Structure 1
Amino acid sequence: MRLANGIVLDRDKTFDTLKFSALRREVRVQNEDGTVSEEVKERTYDLKSKGQGCMIQVSIPADIPLKEFDYNAEVELVNPVADTVANATFFGAEVDWFLKADDIVLKKTTGKAKSAQTEPKPSPKKE
Structure 2
Amino acid sequence: MRLANGIVLDKEKTFGVLKFSALRHEVRMENEDGTTSEEIKRRTYDLKCSVQERMIQVSIPADVAVKDYPYNAEVELINPVADTVANANFRGADVDWYIKADDIILKNKGNQPVGNPQNHTLQGQSKK
TM-score, scaled relative to structure 2: 0.81
Greater C-alpha Rg: 1
Q: How many Å apart are 1:85 and its aligned residue?
A: 1.2
CA distance, structure 1, for counterparts of residue 107 and residue 32 of structure 2? 40
Q: How many Å apart are 1:32 and its aligned residue?
A: 1.3
Which amino acid in the other structure matches residue 56 of structure 1? I
The equivalent residue for 2:47 is 47
CA offsets per residue over residues 43-87 of structure 1, 9 Å max, x none?
A: 000000001010000000000000000000000000000001122
2:78 is aligned with 1:78: yes
Which amino acid in the other structure matches residue 73 of structure 2? A
Structure 1 unmatched runs, 5+: 115-127
1:13 aligned counterpart, secondary structure: helix
CA offsets per residue over residues 21-51 of structure 1, 9 Å max, x none?
A: 0000001111112221111110000000001
Q: How many Å apart are 1:108 and its aligned residue?
A: 2.4
C-alpha contact 1:3 1:84 (8 A) present in aligned 2: no
Give structure 1 regions of 4+ aligned residues with deviation exceeding 4 angstroms: none
CA distance, structure 2, for counterparts of residue 85 and residue 30 of structure 1? 17
The equivalent residue for 2:117 is none
1:71 aligned counterpart, secondary structure: coil
TM-score, scaled relative to structure 1: 0.82
Structure 2 unmatched runs, 5+: 112-128
Which amino acid in the other structure matches residue 74 of structure 2? E
Question: How many residue pairs are counted as aligned between the two chains?
Answer: 111
Q: Superposition pairs for residues 2-17 of structure 1, below 5 Å?
A: 2-17=2-17
The percentage of aligned residue pairs carrying the same residue is 71
Which amino acid in the other structure matches residue 40 of structure 2? V
CA distance, structure 1, for counterparts of residue 62 and residue 92 of structure 2? 34
The equivalent residue for 1:57 is 57
